[in-house]
C-alpha cells in the first residue's frame, strides 16, 4: 500500500488525503500553472481559483471512493481541469495579430507639464532630459510656435499613467477590431 499524504488547497478548510504519486503529480501541475501565469497580472488570483476548483473536484473523488486519491484519479481530475494558460499574452502575438507597437501619448509618471516630453521619450526610447532640452530649445527658436503645438498635443493625445504601462500596451497584440 502506497503512503498517504494530506494536502491543503486554497478555499478548503480540510486537508485532502492523496497518495505520494498523486501528491507529486498535483505539485507538478501547480508549478507548471504558476510558470504559465508568471507574466499575468492576475496570476496569483488565477492560481487561488484553480486550487479551489481542484479542491472541489478532489472532494467529489474522495466522497465516491472513500480512500485517498490515487495517481490515476488525480490524473483524471487534472485532465478534466485542463492546461493553464495566461489570458494576457505578453510580447508574443498569435499569427496574424501584429504588436500594437509604439504610439503617441502623454505619460503622467515624472511629468513636469502635461507629460508630452515623457511620452516622446518613451516612444522613441530617448533620455527624458534630452527631450526636454530639445523642446525648450525649439520653443526659443520658433518664438513659441512649438508651445502652441504642445498645448494642442495636451488636448489630443491619450493619457497613460506610467512608462511601464506604456511598454505593456505597446507590446500587446492589436485588438481584432
User: What is the radius of gyration, based on Cα positions, of the chain?
Assistant: 26
Count of C-beta atoms within a 10 Å radius of residue 35: 10
Packing angle of the helix pair 20-36, 71-81 (nearest 10 deg): 20
Query: What pTM did the predictor assign?
Result: 0.50
Q: Which residues of the chain, if any, have pLDDT below 70?
A: 1, 86-100, 174-177
What is the DSSP pairing of strand 16-19 with strand 159-160? unpaired
Distance CA 66, CA 106 (A): 62
Q: What is the pLDDT of residues 86-119, one digit of tens each?
A: 665 554 444 555 666 777 888 888 888 888 889 8
Q: What is the pLDDT of residues 68-80, one digit of tens each?
A: 989 899 899 888 8
Q: C-alpha cell of 113? A: 507639464
Amino acid at each position: 500500500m502506497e503512503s498517504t499524504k494530506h494536502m491543503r488547497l486554497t478555499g478548503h478548510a480540510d486537508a485532502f488525503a492523496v497518495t505520494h504519486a498523486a501528491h507529486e503529480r498535483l505539485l507538478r501541475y501547480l508549478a507548471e500553472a504558476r510558470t504559465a501565469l508568471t507574466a499575468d497580472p492576475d496570476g496569483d488570483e488565477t492560481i487561488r481559483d484553480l486550487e479551489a476548483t481542484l479542491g472541489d473536484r478532489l472532494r467529489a473523488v474522495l466522497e465516491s471512493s472513500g480512500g485517498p486519491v490515487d495517481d490515476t484519479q488525480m490524473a483524471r481530475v487534472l485532465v478534466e481541469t485542463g492546461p493553464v494558460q495566461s489570458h494576457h499574452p505578453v510580447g508574443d502575438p498569435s499569427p496574424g495579430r501584429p504588436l500594437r507597437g509604439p504610439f503617441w501619448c502623454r505619460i503622467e509618471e515624472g511629468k513636469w507639464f502635461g507629460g508630452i516630453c515623457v511620452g516622446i521619450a518613451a516612444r522613441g526610447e530617448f533620455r527624458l532630459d534630452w527631450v526636454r532640452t530639445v523642446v525648450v530649445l525649439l520653443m526659443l527658436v520658433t518664438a513659441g510656435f512649438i508651445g502652441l503645438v504642445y498645448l494642442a498635443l495636451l488636448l489630443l493625445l491619450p493619457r497613460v499613467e506610467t512608462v511601464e504601462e506604456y511598454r505593456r500596451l505597446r507590446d500587446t497584440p492589436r485588438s481584432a477590431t
